[in-house]
C-alpha cells in the first residue's frame, strides 16, 4: 500500500509494516518491565543507600513509563495487523498511535539521562545489583533510542512531501494528467527522483573517480531506476509480499504443466547441429569463461612482454595468473594477450590459443567489480548499426560500449592479427559469462564481417541485450546457455514492468494481512510444502481500479507506464528509451530433472533442450534464481550433461566454487 503519511511527509514504510518491529520491541519492553518490577519488589523498603530515595522514585517512574510504552506498542501491533495491503481502513488510527509512541520517547530520553546522572553521582553505597540494574536500564534505553533513529533513517523517503498541504495538491495534479498543472507536477517529481537517485549512486560509489563517463552512467542509471518506480506507490515490504505470493502462484502453475519435449536440433536456426556436439563445445568454452574471473580486480597495470606475447597485469599484481592456467589447462605461451584493466565500459579479457579445438579464443570477464556493475546498469538502448542486417539495430548501452572497447583493442592493437599470424588455420571463438556473455555476443556481431566463421558461446547473458533484428541475425553464430530459473537472462525492462504488474495484481487481490503473507512466504521458502491457495484472479471492479490513474490508498498504480515499447514491435517508439531487447542467438536451456526442492547435497541430473526467446519473457521467482546464475553452477551442469553423471547441488571439489559473481 502507499507509504504511511506522518509528521507531514510520506515514509518508506506502510501502516501494516509495524507488526514485526513492534512485536520485537514489545518483547524487549515486557522483559525489561518484568526485570524492573522484580528488582523493585525484592528491594522495596531496603533502598538504604545515600541515593536510595532517588532510586526508589526512579524505578517507580520507570515502571509507569514502561507500562505506557508497552500499552502503546500493543495498540500499534494490533492495529497494524488489521486489514489487508489494499484495505488500510482498519489501520486509520496508526498515525495517531505513532505520534503517541513518539511522544513517549521524550520522557524515556530524560529518564535515561537522569539514570546516568544517578549512577555517576548518587550510587555510592548502594547494592551492586541495584546499580547494575540502573546501568542496564540506561544502556537499554540508549540502544533502543539509537535503533529507532537508525530505523527512521532507513524508512526516510527523500521524495516524500515536506508540507502537509502539498500532498493534496500533488494528488490533484497526478489525478488530472491532462492538465498542464498535473504534467508540470509529474515532471517536477521525476526530476527530483532522478536527482535523489543520482545522489544515492554517488554516495554508494564514492570511491570511484568523478569523470565524465561516470557522471553520464550515474545519470543514465538514475533515470532508469526512478522511471521504473515512478508509476507505483509500493513500499519494499509490499514488493516482498508480492514476490512471495507470485512464487507460490508460479509453483502451482508449474505443478499442473506438462513437461516440455526435448529437441535434438534447434527449431529456430538454419544450422542443424547435433545437440550433444554443441553441449561439448559449450562445456569446453565455459572453462575459459570461468577462468576469466580468476584474475581478480586489480587496476594496477604492469607489462610482461616477450617477442610474441603481451600480458597486462600479472601474479605480482594479485591477479593469480597461475589459477587461469590451471582452469584452462593451457600453458603460459598459449596466451596472446591478457588484460586486467577495469573501468566503466572497459572490462578485462584475454586472448589465447586453444589447441584442443584449434581456435583463437577471446574470453571476457563477467561482473566482479563496482565498475562492472555500473556497466550492467547502463541499460539504455544504443544504436548498433550492422551492415547487411535488415530492421532496427540497437543494444544495451553499457555492453555495447564494452564490446566496442574490446573490438578496438583486438583490431587496432593488432592482437587478433598477431594470433592468426601464429595460427592462421584456427577459427575465432568468443565466450563469456553474464556481463562477459552479453559483451561477447555483441563483440561477435561487430567482428562477424571480418571473421565470417567465428562462433560465440554466451553463458547466462542478460535478457535485455539486443533488438529482435540483431537477435535473429546472431542465431547463425551465437549460442546462449541458460541454467534453470536464472534471473539475469530474464532481466529486461519490459520483463520487469511485467513483474511489477503481476506483483500489483497479487497484492491487490490477496485478502490476507501482509504479516501473514510474509510469515507463510518465509516458511515456504525455507521448508517448502504445498503452495498456499491464494486467489489468482481479480474481479472486474479491481481490474478497472488498477487501470485508472489513481494514487494513494485507492490504488497501488499511479499511471500507466509508457517507458517501453511492446514486445511485439521491432520499431523504435517516438518517445522513451526502453525498447524491447532479447537474448542473443540460439538458446540452450538446462533444467534440473526431478523435484525442484532438494537438500544441498542431493544428487541432481540435468536435461537440456533448445528454447526460444519467448520462453524468457517472464521473470520466474525461485530460491535458485541467483544460484543458477553462478558460473560454477553453469559449469557443473554442463559437465554433468557431457559426462552423463549426477552432481551435488553444492559441490566442494570445483576449483572455482569460491566465485560469487553476477
Q: Among residues 444, 500, 437, 445, which one has the least CA distance to residue 463?
A: 437
- In contact, 270 and 314? CB cutoff 8 Å: no
Task: Tell me the C-alpha distance between 115 and 113, whole Å.
Answer: 5
Q: What is the secondary structure of 507-533 as a DSSP string? A: HHH--S-HHHHHHHHHHHHHH--SPP-
Q: Dihedral sign for Cα 566, 571, 575, 580, please.
A: positive
Strands (E), 536-620: 586-592, 603-604, 606-611
- Our answer to whether residue 449 is catalytic in this structure is no
Chain centroid to CA 61: how far? 48
Catalytically annotated residue among 334, 372, 380, 486: 486
Q: Among residues 481, 470, 542, which one has the least CA distance to residue 506?
A: 542
Beta-bridged to residue 428, according to DSSP, are: 360
- 296-322 core/surface letters (b: 16 or more CB in 10 A; e: else): bbbeeeeeeeeeebbbbbbeebebebe
Catalytically annotated residue among 434, 467, 480, 611: 434
Which spans in 122-163 are helix H?
A: 128-155
Length of the chain: 662
Strands 586-592 and 606-611: antiparallel
Tally the C-alpha atoms within 13 A of residue 208's C-alpha that lie toward its C-beta. Answer: 22
Rounded to the nearest 10°, the torsion over CA 245, 247, 250, 255 is: -110
Q: Is 529 left (phi over 0), alpha (psi -120 to 50) or beta?
A: left
Long-range contacts of 115-122 (CB under 8 A, 24+ apart): 115/58, 115/141, 118/51, 118/54, 118/55, 118/58, 121/51, 122/50, 122/51, 122/54, 122/55
- In contact, 311 and 339? CB cutoff 8 Å: no
- In contact, 443 and 363? CB cutoff 8 Å: no
- Cα 393 to Cα 365, 478, 582: the distances in Å are 25, 17, 12
Task: Tell me the C-alpha distance between 152 and 368, whole Å.
Answer: 33
- Our answer to whether residue 486 is catalytic in this structure is yes
- Cβ neighbours for 230, distance < 8 A, ≥ 6 positions apart: 189, 190, 193, 558, 561
Strands 303-305 and 349-354: unpaired
- In contact, 628 and 486? CB cutoff 8 Å: yes
Task: Tell me the C-alpha distance between 293 and 364, whole Å.
Answer: 9
Which spans in 423-465 are helix H?
A: 435-447
- Cα 541 to Cα 95, 549, 620: the distances in Å are 29, 15, 28
Catalytic residue annotation: 434, 486
Amino acid at each position: 500500500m502507499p507509504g504511511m503519511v506522518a509528521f507531514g511527509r510520506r515514509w518508506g514504510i506502510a501502516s501494516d509494516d509495524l507488526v514485526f518491529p513492534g512485536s520485537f520491541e514489545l518483547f524487549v519492553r515486557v522483559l525489561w518491565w518484568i526485570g524492573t518490577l522484580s528488582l523493585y519488589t525484592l528491594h522495596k523498603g531496603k533502598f538504604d543507600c545515600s541515593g536510595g530515595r532517588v532510586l526508589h522514585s526512579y524505578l517507580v517512574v520507570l515502571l509507569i513509563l514502561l507500562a505506557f510504552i508497552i500499552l502503546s506498542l500493543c495498540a500499534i501491533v494490533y492495529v497494524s495487523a488489521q486489514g489487508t495491503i489494499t484495505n488500510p481502513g482498519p489501520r486509520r488510527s496508526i498515525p495517531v498511535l505513532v505520534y503517541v509512541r513518539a511522544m513517549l520517547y521524550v520522557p524515556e530520553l530524560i529518564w535515561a539521562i537522569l539514570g546516568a546522572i544517578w549512577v555517576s553521582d548518587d550510587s555510592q553505597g548502594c547494592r551492586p545489583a541495584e546499580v547494575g540494574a540502573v546501568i542496564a536500564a540506561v544502556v537499554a534505553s540508549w540502544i533502543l533510542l539509537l535503533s529507532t533513529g537508525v530505523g527512521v533513517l532507513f524508512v526516510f523517503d527523500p521524495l516524500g512531501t515536506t508540507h502537509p498541504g502539498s500532498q493534496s495538491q500533488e494528488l490533484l495534479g497526478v489525478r488530472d494528467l491532462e492538465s498542464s498543472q498535473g504534467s508540470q507536477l509529474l515532471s517536477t517529481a521525476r526530476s527530483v527522483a532522478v536527482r535523489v537517485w543520482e545522489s544515492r549512486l554517488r554516495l554508494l560509489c564514492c570511491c570511484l573517480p568523478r569523470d565524465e563517463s561516470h557522471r553520464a552512467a550515474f545519470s543514465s542509471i538514475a533515470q532508469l531506476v526512478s522511471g521504473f518506480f515512478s508509476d507505483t506507490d509500493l513500499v519494499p515490504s509490499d514488493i516482498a509480499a508480492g514476490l512471495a505470493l507470485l512464487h507460490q502462484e508460479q509453483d502451482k502453475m508449474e505443478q499442473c504443466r506438462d513437461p516440455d519435449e526435448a529437441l535434438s536440433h534447434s527449431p529456430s536456426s538454419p544450422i542443424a547441429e547435433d545437440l550433444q556436439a554443441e553441449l561439448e563445445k559449450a562445456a569446453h568454452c565455459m572453462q575459459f569463461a570461468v577462468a576469466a574471473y580468476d584474475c581478480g580486480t586489480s587496476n594496477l597495470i604492469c607489462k610482461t612482454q616477450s617477442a610474441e606475447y603481451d600480458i597486462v597485469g600479472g601474479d605480482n599484481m594479485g591477479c593469480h595468473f597461475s589459477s587461469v592456467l590451471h582452469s584452462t589447462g593451457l600453458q603460459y605461451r598459449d596466451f596472446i594477450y591478457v588484460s586486467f584493466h577495469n573501468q566503466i565500459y572497459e572490462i578485462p579479457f584475454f586472448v589465447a590459443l586453444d589447441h584442443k579445438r584449434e581456435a583463437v579464443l577471446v574470453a571476457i570477464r563477467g561482473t566482479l567489480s563496482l565498475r562492472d556493475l555500473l556497466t550492467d546498469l547502463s541499460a539504455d538502448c544504443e544504436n548498433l548499426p550492422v551492415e547487411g542486417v535488415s530492421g532496427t539495430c540497437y543494444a544495451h548501452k553499457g555492453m555495447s560500449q564494452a564490446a566496442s572497447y574490446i573490438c578496438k583493442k583486438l583490431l587496432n592493437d593488432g592482437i587478433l592479427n598477431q594470433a592468426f599470424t601464429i595460427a592462421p588455420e584456427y577459427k575465432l571463438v568468443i565466450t563469456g559469462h553474464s556481463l562477459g556473455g552479453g559483451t561477447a555476443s555483441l563483440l561477435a556481431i561487430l567482428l562477424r564481417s571480418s571473421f565470417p566463421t567465428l562462433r560465440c558461446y554466451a553463458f547466462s547473458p542478460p535478457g535485455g541485450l539486443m533488438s529482435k533484428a540483431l537477435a535473429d541475425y546472431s542465431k547463425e553464430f551465437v549460442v546462449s546457455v541458460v541454467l534453470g530459473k536464472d534471473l539475469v537472462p530474464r532481466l529486461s525492462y519490459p520483463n520487469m514492468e511485467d513483474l511489477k504488474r503481476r506483483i500489483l495484481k497479487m497484492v491487490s487481490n490477496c485478502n490476507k494481512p501482509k504479516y501473514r503473507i510474509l510469515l507463510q512466504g518465509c516458511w515456504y521458502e525455507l521448508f517448502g510444502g504445498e503452495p498456499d491457495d491464494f486467489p489468482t484472479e481479480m474481479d472486474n471492479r479491481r481490474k478497472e481500479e488498477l487501470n485508472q490513474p489513481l494514487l494513494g490508498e485507492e490504488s497501488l498504480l499511479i499511471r500507466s507506464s509508457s517507458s517501453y515499447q511492446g514486445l511485439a514491435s521491432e520499431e523504435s517508439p517516438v518517445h522513451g528509451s526502453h525498447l524491447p531487447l532479447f537474448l542473443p542467438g540460439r538458446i540452450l536451456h538446462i533444467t534440473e530433472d526431478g523435484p525442484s526442492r532438494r537438500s544441498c547435497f542431493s544428487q541432481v541430473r540435468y536435461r537440456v533442450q533448445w528454447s526460444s526467446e519467448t520462453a524468457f519473457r517472464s521473470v520466474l521467482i525461485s530460491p535458485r534464481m541467483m544460484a543458477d546464475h553462478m558460473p560454477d553452477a553453469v559449469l557443473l551442469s554442463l559437465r554433468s550433461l557431457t559426462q552423463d553423471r549426477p552432481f551435488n547441488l553444492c559441490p566442494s571439489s570445483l576449483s572455482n566454487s569460491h566465485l560469487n559473481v553476477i
